[in-house]
């Protein structure tokens, strides 16, 4: 049994709702969730580094998502 904080009835309703969605609706939901996670991450970075420029925030976001080693391997204009 998986560890969860969602009531069984609620989880069942969520699964039913997802199953009733079209592929396009599920794709739209996925995009919206990804955008919300990105916005939350950016807000966290700005909270931790209020003086950061947009480029610095972008670089921090890349580090959080992909790791410092990967970001360091990118050409400077992509960091």
Summarised one tens digit per residue, pLDDT across range 25-65 is: 999 999 999 999 999 999 999 999 999 999 999 999 999 99
Confidence check: pLDDT of 76 > 80: yes
How far is CA 18 from its chain centroid?
A: 19
Give the predicted TM-score (pTM) of the model.
0.78
In this structure, the number of other CB atoms found within 10 A of the CB of residue 60 comes to 19
Confidence check: pLDDT of 72 > 80: yes
So what's the pLDDT on residue 54?
Answer: 97
Question: Mean of the pLDDT values across residues 9-37?
Answer: 97
Question: Mean of the pLDDT values across residues 3-30?
Answer: 95
Residues with Cβ within 8 Å of 60's Cβ and at least 6 positions away in sequence, in order, are 45, 49, 52
So what's the pLDDT on residue 1?
Answer: 65
Domain ranges for the chain = 23-78
């Amino acid at each position: 049994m998986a560890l969860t904080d969602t009531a069984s009835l609620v989880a069942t309703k969520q699964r039913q709702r997802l199953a009733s969605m079209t592929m396009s609706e599920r794709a739209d939901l996925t995009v919206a969730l990804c955008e919300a996670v990105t916005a939350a991450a950016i807000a966290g970075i700005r909270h931790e580094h209020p003086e950061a420029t947009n480029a610095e925030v972008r670089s921090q976001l890349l580090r959080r998502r992909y790791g410092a080693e990967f970001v360091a391997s990118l050409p400077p204009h992509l960091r």
